[in-house]
Structure 1
Amino acid sequence: MTDASTVAVPVAREGERPWLDADLPVEQRIDLLLAEMTLEEKAGLFFHTMITMGQDGELAGPDPTFGLPSTREYVIERRLNHFNLLGGAQTAGEIARWHNALQRLAASTRLGIPVTLSTDPRHSFTDNPGAAMMAGPFSQWPDTLGLAATRDPDLVERFGDIARQEYAAVGIRVALHPQVDLATEPRWSRQLQTFGEDAQVAGELGAAYIRGFQRGEAFGPGAVSTMVKHFPGGGPQQDGEDPHFEYGREQVYPGGKFELHLKPFEDAFAAGVRQVMPYYGMPIGTEYEAVGFGFNKSVLTGLLRERYGFEGVVCTDWGLITDADIMGQPFPARAWGVEHLSREERMVKIIDAGADQFGGEACPELLVTLVREGRISEERVDASARRLLREKFLLGLFEDPYVDEAAADAIVGSPEFRAAGDAAQRAALTVLANRDALLPLAKGLKLYVEGIAPDVAAAYGDVVDTPDEADVAVIRLQAPFEQRGSGFESFFHAGSLDFPAEVIARVNEVAAAVPTVVDVFLDRPAILTPIAETAHALVGNWGASAQALLDVLTGAAVAEGRLPFDLPRSMAAVEASRPDVPFDTEDPLFRFGHGLTL
């Protein structure tokens, strides 16, 4: 392992690195740097892959868990300088120290091109590493569906601004979000990071999210570049399955609503979003080529570049080219519709489609070979390299790639930021039913709880061991799902939205003994019909601590949340609905926008 703290930072002597002259226009600086770059150095820009930290802020050696090479191999040998940071348990200070060590290593290369560090969402509650990281040292907020439940653009923009400050404090300058897909297929496993089912709400709140991260019109040093996803909308999945996996590769539009799914992206473009990620899915029965969107020239060039005039960075979703091993299991490339193509042919097709970066890939030698063989022109390489370098220059990375290690712990997860996140958790909680005006709960009641630590509940009442002893019961549940596989696949909650019979029986048993509040983490719109029949109060959440929930239940905080999607009455209604059409389940139990104010 190389200790990057011992790597000398090259001094930029006048005339040696003229692109470092901040007084020059950015486009001229790009021209100067591009003219100096070898093909191998240009190729390194095209790969945006995963990276891990070593212990205590050190650079990492090879990582057998994720099949990753050492950091030194990435930066020195492969000349890569765009990385997605995996893991979320480190302190902010450790992340900042690691980031600075990484930048010192990058500065030791021939041209000293700084690293651009990205991340999936880090401020929420989800445990899916394919979608987000646990909050760790960062302030904790409801997941994006919860932000949608607040219906508050100012709150969402405030979240973006706080997240921006926390990201920038540790060196993260690209957010691989927001996700503005419409949640029109109730079974889809990726709804939690969306703004829900309504195109207008998703567009308005997505734009606010982008403004918060990118500092509105003041994009530049201190900003975080956002990568909106998954163009042209990843929600209409066949049977709700996810295209991370071959059985979920098809996107279908039986209701003819392809255009509706573009609406939130149009708002993102108007807000100035800098980057776009297409999804894995392949459109079936449309005017567009039936291949995955990352390979799809009719979508990336015809629709994104030409119709919308998007001039920013297009980065594919992760792993379109190379088969991998994730968490000890084989994981084929998501080359849907082009599975028969070789790795080289897939790369050519992605470049021809109009993408600039290969997400989750680290094979620059392949691109170099393709250029030298004349299968990809160096002029085409330069066009993407220019976009990628422009982001680094505009973010100020060439002037100051380092962060203040001493300040990181004070900024990330500060009391002010944590309080704002806690308030958002409370604001997002949605009271769906309140039979016999059970809520708000009176103080000093005897409480029976499931899914809440007794020592936390003790601050709100006298905790007892059985429902028979209690004045009220509070039960927290996770929306149901069917296990699709083990390892990485297990994190994707898919399949039936019906609760298992034993869960229903347990709720009925408790509710027969004592008035019962049921709170459900709605990462998908669960079928709550049997629970609503027996529970005395019903609450939905999208990431809320037990304290936030109990504050709302006891009236210490106002219940303000509103449903970001319909809650179907039955699985029969879900199965009969069209996956591209919002609000298409017959006679839903609770409609979009429903929520009681207490």
Structure 2
Amino acid sequence: MTPHLSTAADGTSYRDLNGNGVMDPYEDPRLSPEERADDLVSRMSLEEKCGLMFQTVIEVGDDGELLEAPGRISKSPTTEVVVGKNLSHFNVHAIRTARQAAVWNNNLQALAERTPHGVPVTISTDPRHAFVENTGVGFAAGPFSQWPEGLGLAAIDDVETVREFADVARREYRAVGIRAALHPQIDLATEPRWGRQAQTLGQDAARVAEFTAAYLQGFQGDELGPDSVACTTKHFPGGGPQKDGEDSHFPYGREQVYPGGMFEYHLEPFREAIRRGTAAMMPYYGMPVGLERGGEKIEEVGFGYNRQIVTDLLRGELGYDGVVVTDWELVNDNHVGDQVLPARAWGVEELTPAERMEKILDAGADQFGGEECVDLLLDLVRSGRIGEERIDASARRLLLVKFRLGLFDDPYVDPDEAERIVGNADFRAQGERAQARALTVLVNREDASGAPTLPLRPVGRVYVEGFRADEAAELGVVVDDPADADLALVRLGAPFDPRDDLFLEAWFHQGSLEFPPGRVYRMRRIAEQCPLVLVANLDRAAVLTPFAEFAAAIAADFGSSGAAVLDALTGRIAPEGRLPVELPRSMDAVRASREDVPSDTEDPLFPVHFGLSLTTARA
């Protein structure tokens, strides 16, 4: 689908977005984004400007049609939010096929042309190129190429691989009309229990800063332009130091603490993101407790409400003038079916929704994530509690990104081209190779003959858990009983404490890092019957100490298919992984560690950056 173009008197082609037959400055492709944004802000009604300041979830029709009823999570019909409320920023959820997404984008952009100034829609997404499926965090790859989680990219420890991933993801997003990435997530994973480590790039601030630069280069290029995907870097000023590792999505995890005085350490990657021109920043939900900076006590309210953090630090001290979008649902509670998740109004729970909104704006944010309560903002302006000039400042920042991305000139995509680009064979091969490279070998014992267990070689019979039989068949005949096997190959997920009282809670892996005693006992019994090769899928750290006593080999993966794991274990693709976080020896050591300090557990079983290389490789 191509835009309907008009021709000005001097022959310039443009989109007549307001239908007045004149090429107004904001429609003129020859002018700078700054000039166009200034012109459009001066033309827009208060209702239109306020609509820009909301970004909420949207869902895709099965065949790319617009959903005109509330969805599984989205709250309103599409036409109501686009035309009725003037929203033009949406976070897309499930995508089944590239064609479906592309057709839907075009339908959505055509609907946006019905608004008074034809403001195009910016479609955003949480990460969707790896394995974790969590509506509150990201999505499994589906039709897109599949890569390791962020921790896996960090395990490869190669800046160029991060840039390569980001470039592939940019091209796939761009093909279906997604023009904003709600990532990278550059929080430092210094608290081993924290449930959001999988999408981070590890705990090493200097290395994460280097990865951040490469990530932004791959998505945005040297500067934001028509081929870019705009990044929202998160979660400022670093969401890793959660008290006891509990996540601040939930009331019991609202406190963020700095017992080691490492606040500045967690800022390092964000300083790099600012230098590299990230299009947006997102503060986290966390409420700093007991934090002082420059002799001044920081208000104990969530970072999205915190003027000392957003205006004084981010905008003032660090000089950031891009978009600040809050994390989701700081204003209103979220009701989904029979479950509720309270507004993450940490430290301001007693405020009304209008008062929360006012405090967020005073803090310095430009956009409310996960909200569509435009009338609430309009009432604040009309009552005089918020000045219209404050709305104009945020509207200009938000429009600048749209103009820089070229959305006003052509927001449409080609569904046929989307099918050719998204998940193509080359991109999939790159992702699968990265999955194998990220495998991190932790233990590799020698057998009675002195040969190392890895790389794996064919044996007579193999017992398998966590892999498909056809994946393991190259190693030998798959048997049902380890007592009949010459080798056992077992893949386990990292342990966690199941919870399901609040919306989203079941998807977050939180709590203890210890494996249940019964699982350890069962693995020991297997190892007594044949050599055990254990692969731990780590979406956060795990206490592997019991297994290290008896397993013939242990490896960690951070988002890999079974086939990719076998490629690495057999040496077809050399595993290159080095741990992006330390693996503690015990939960006692974790509980005694400080949440904000990297590598702070006593005598870790495996330190950060540890990983063994295979001495031989198979062709």
Matched residue of 1:99: which SS?
Answer: helix
Distance 1:67 1:565 in 2: 36
Residue number among 158, 167, 175 corresponding to 2:173 in the alignment: 167
Deviation by residue 1:347-400 (Cα, 9 ceiling, x = unmatched): 110000000000000011111111111111101110000000000000000000
Contact 2:180 2:229 in 1 (8 A): yes
* Candidates 214, 228, 236, aligned match of 2:233: 228
SS for the counterpart of 1:111 is coil
Q: Secondary structure at the match of 2:492?
A: strand
Cα pair distance change 1:49/1:596, threshold 3 Å? same
Q: Does 1:91 align with 2:107?
A: no
1:15-70 per-position Cα deviation (integer Å, ceiling 9, x unaligned) = 26431111122222112211110000000000010000112111012225325111
Mean alpha-carbon deviation: is it higher for 418-427 or for 201-210? 201-210
The equivalent of 2:295 in structure 1 is none
Identity %: 55
Does 2:119 match 1:109?
Answer: no
Match of 1:275 in 2: 280
Q: Given the alignment, which residue of 550, 562, 571 partners 1:555?
A: 571
> Cα distance, 1:293 vs. partner?
0.2
For residue 136 of structure 1, what is the aligned residue in structure 2? 142
- Counterpart among 490, 493, 500 of residue 485 in structure 1: 500
Partner AA of 1:56 in structure 2: D
Give the equivalent residue in structure 2 for 1:470: 485
The answer for the alignment partner of 1:373 in structure 2 is 383
1:292-311 to structure 2, matched below 5 A, reads 292-311=302-321
SS at match of 2:124: strand
In structure 2, relative to structure 1, the CA distance for the partners of 1:63 and 1:86 (3 Å cut) is same
Matching residue within 465, 470, 491 for 1:450: 465
1:123-522 → structure 2 map (5 Å cutoff): 123-215=129-221, 217-287=222-292, 288-436=298-446, 437-486=452-501, 487-522=503-538
3-state SS of paired residue (1:122): coil
Tell me the equivalent position of 2:589: 573
SS at match of 2:101: helix
User: Alpha-carbon deviation of 1:272?
Assistant: 1.6
> Which deviates more from structure 2 when the two are superposed, residues 46-55 or residues 18-27?
18-27
Question: Does the CA contact (< 8 Å) of 1:291 and 1:336 recur in 2?
Answer: yes
Task: Provide the C-alpha distance between the structure 2 equivalents of 1:262 and 1:145, rounded to a whole number of angstroms.
Answer: 19
With normalisation by structure 2, the TM-score equals 0.93
1:67/1:326 contact within 8 Å kept: no
Structure 1 alignment gaps of length 5 or more: none
Partner of 1:33: 40
Secondary structure in 2 aligned to 1:173? Answer: strand
Question: 1:568 offset after TM fit, Å?
Answer: 0.2
- TM-aligned CA distance change 1:528 to 1:327, over 3 Å: farther
Question: What amino acid is aligned across from residue 271 of structure 1 in structure 2?
Answer: R
What code does the residue aligned with 2:207 have?
Answer: V
Instruction: Give the aligned partner of residue 7 of structure 2.
Output: none
Q: Provide the rounded CA distance (Å) in 1 between the counterparts of 2:394 and 2:18.
A: 28
* CA displacement, residues 446-494 of structure 1 (integer Å, 9 cap, x when unaligned): 2211011112222443222211222111100000000122452111111
Aligned AA (2:268): K
Counterpart-to-counterpart distance in 1, 2:531 and 2:259: 44
Q: Which amino acid aligns with 1:225?
A: A
- Choose 196-205 or 61-70, whichever is displaced more: 61-70
Secondary structure of residue in 1 paired with 2:63: helix
Q: Write out per-residue CA displacement over residues 300-354 of structure 1, whole angstroms, 9 at most, x where no aligned residue.
A: 0010000000010000000000111135301110000001111111111000000
- CA gap 1:65/1:219 in 2 versus in 1, 3 angstroms: closer
Q: Note if contact 1:237-1:252 (Cα within 8 Å) is conserved in structure 2.
A: yes
Q: In 2 relative to 1, CA 422–445 (structure 1 residues): closer, same or farther, beyond 3 Å?
A: farther
Contact 1:9 1:108 in 2 (8 A): no
Q: Is the 8 A contact 2:439 2:556 kept in 1?
A: yes
Structure 1 Cα separation of the partners of residues 18 and 36 of structure 2: 18
Q: For residue 589 of structure 2, what is the amino acid of its counterpart?
A: A
CA contact (8 A) 2:18 2:117 kept: no
Name structure 2 gaps, 5 residues minimum: 5-14, 293-297, 447-451, 615-619
Q: RMSD in angstroms over aligned alpha carbons?
A: 1.5
Measured after TM superposition, the shift of residue 503 of structure 1 is: 0.9
